[in-house]
Amino acid sequence: MNCTGPSILTILALMASFLAPDSVHAFQSHAEPEALYGHQLAHAFFIIALAILAYWLRANRFTDLKGWFLIQVTCLLLILWNIAAIAGHWVEERIPDASLIGEPDWTQIIRLDTSPWAIYYYALKMDHLLCVPAIMCLFLGIRLLFRNALNEEVRKNG
Amino acid sequence: MAESYSLAPIWFIDVFGSMLMILFSFLSVWYASRLRKIQPSNVVWTYLLWLCVALAGFAVSRGVGHVAKRFLLLADRRDLWLMLKPYSGAINSIAFVVVASITLFFQRVQRINTAILNDKKALEEASAEVMRLNSDLESLVQDRTRELAKSERKYRRIFEGSMDMIFILDSAARFVDINRSGLTTLGYNRREDLIGTHFAEILAHREDCDRLIRDLDERGFVRDREYNFITKNGSLLNVLLSATGRKNEVGEIESYEGIAKDITERVHMERQLQRADKLASLGQISTGIAHEINNPLGVMLGYTQLLLRDHSAGTQIHDDLKTIEKHARNCKTVVEDLLKFARSTTTRKDPVRVNECLDEVVSLLAHQFELDNVTVIKSLSLDLPEIIADGEKLKQVFMNLLMNARHAIAGKGVISIRTEPGAADNHVRITISDTGCGIPGEFIGKIFDPFFTTKPVGEGTGLGLSVSYGIIQDHNGTIEVESVPGEGSTFTVSLPVPAGVKSF
Q: In this structure, is residue A28 part of a structural domain?
A: no
B-chain residue closest to A154, CA distance: B38
Q: Which pLDDT does position A84 carry in this prediction?
A: 94
Contact B171, B253 (CB under 8 A): yes
Backbone φ, ψ for residue B418 (5° rounding): -135, 135
How far is B140 from chain A, CA to nearest CA, in Å?
29
Q: Using a CB-CB distance cutoff of 8 angstroms, which residues of chain A are in contact with residue B92?
A: 39
Higher model confidence: residue A109 or residue A32?
A109
CB neighbours of residue B72 within 10 Å: 19
**Does B34 contact A135 at a Cβ distance shorter than 8 Å?**
no
pLDDT confidence of A2, banded at 50, 70, 90? very low
Is A96 in CB contact (< 8 Å) with chain B? no
State how many domains chain A has. Answer: 1
Distances (CA, A) of B79 to B370, B412, B495: 161, 152, 152
pTM of the model: 0.46
Rounded to 10 deg, the angle between the B106-161 and A33-59 helix axes is: 30
Q: Which pLDDT does position B198 carry in this prediction?
A: 92
Average pLDDT, chain B: 86
**Does B103 contact A106 at a Cβ distance shorter than 8 Å?**
no
Q: Which pLDDT does position B92 carry in this prediction?
A: 82
Q: Please state the three-class secondary structure of chain A as a single string.
A: CCCCHHHHHHHHHHHHHHHCCCCCCCCCCCCCHHHHHHHHHHHHHHHHHHHHHHHHHHHCCHHHCHHHHHHHHHHHHHHHHHHHHHHHHHHHCCCCHHHEECCCCCCCEEECCCCCCHHHHHHHCCCHHHHHHHHHHHHHHHHHHHHHHHHHHHHHCC
pLDDT digits 0-9 by tens, B28-37: 999 999 999 9
Q: Using a CB-CB distance cutoff of 8 angstroms, which residues of chain B are in contact with residue A108?
A: 6-8, 11
d(CA A128, CA A39): 18
d(CA B378, CA B360): 13
The residues, ordered by sequence, that sit 6+ positions from B106 with a Cβ below 8 Å of its Cβ are: A52, A53, A56, A57, B47
Which residue in the set A103, A125, A150 is minimally distant from B38, CB to CB? Answer: A150
Q: In this structure, is residue A6 part of a structural domain?
A: no
Is B100 in CB contact (< 8 Å) with chain A? yes
What is the rounded average pLDDT of the residues A57-80? 94
How far is B22 from chain A, CA to nearest CA, in Å?
9
Q: Which pLDDT does position B122 carry in this prediction?
A: 93
Is B115 in CB contact (< 8 Å) with chain A? no
Handedness of CA A133, A137, A139, A143 (dihedral sign): positive
Contact B191, B178 (CB under 8 A): yes
Q: In this structure, is residue A62 part of a structural domain?
A: yes
**Does A138 contact B35 at a Cβ distance shorter than 8 Å?**
no
Burial class (CB in 10 A: 0-12, 13-18, 19+), B246: middle
pLDDT digits 0-9 by tens, B385-404: 889 998 888 998 999 899 88
Amino acid code (one letter) for A138: L
Amino acid code (one letter) for B255: S
d(CA B422, CA B82): 142
What is the rounded average pLDDT of the residues B268-281? 78
d(CA B201, CA B190): 17
Q: Which domain holds residue A60?
A: 39-156
Q: At residue A3, does pLDDT exceed 50? A: no
CB neighbours of residue A128 within 10 Å: 25
Q: Which pLDDT does position B474 carry in this prediction?
A: 85
Mutate to test the interface with A, among B14, B48, B96, B111 (most CBs of A within 10 A): B96
B-chain residue closest to A75, CA distance: B103
Which residue in the set A42, A126, A136 is minimally distant from B13, CB to CB? Answer: A126
Q: Which pLDDT does position B502 carry in this prediction?
A: 55
d(CA A30, CA B376): 146
Rounded to the nearest 10°, the torsion over CA B480, B482, B488, B494 is -30
Contact B263, B277 (CB under 8 A): no
Which of B246, B331, B231, B250 has its CA nearest to residue B289?
Answer: B331
pLDDT confidence of A1, banded at 50, 70, 90? very low
Q: In this structure, is residue A18 part of a structural domain?
A: no
Q: Using a CB-CB distance cutoff of 8 angstroms, which residues of chain B are in contact with residue A153?
A: 38-39
The residues, ordered by sequence, that sit 6+ positions from B417 with a Cβ below 8 Å of its Cβ are: B358, B362, B376, B377, B378, B379, B380, B402, B430, B431, B432
d(CA A141, CA B438): 113
How far is B41 from chain A, CA to nearest CA, in Å?
12
E strands of B103-220, at which residues? 165-170, 175-178
Across-strand partners of B481? B491
pLDDT digits 0-9 by tens, B41-94: 888 899 999 999 999 988 888 887 777 877 787 788 888 888 888 787 788 888
pLDDT digits 0-9 by tens, A8-64: 777 777 776 666 655 555 555 555 677 788 888 889 999 999 999 999 999 989 999
Q: In this structure, is residue A32 part of a structural domain?
A: no
Stretch 40-79 of chain B: residues touching chain A, C-beta under 8 Å: 42, 45, 48, 52, 55, 59, 69-70, 73-74, 76, 78
Q: Which pLDDT does position B49 carry in this prediction?
A: 93
d(CA A57, CA A40): 26
Q: Using a CB-CB distance cutoff of 8 angstroms, which residues of chain B are in contact with residue A146?
A: 31-32, 34-35, 38
Q: Using a CB-CB distance cutoff of 8 angstroms, which residues of chain A are in contact with residue B42?
A: 149
> For chain B, what is the total number of helices (H) and then of strands (E)?
12, 13
Stretch 47-86 of chain A: residues touching chain B, C-beta under 8 Å: 48-50, 52-53, 56-57, 60
Which residue in the set A113, A146, A153 is minimally distant from B31, CB to CB? Answer: A146
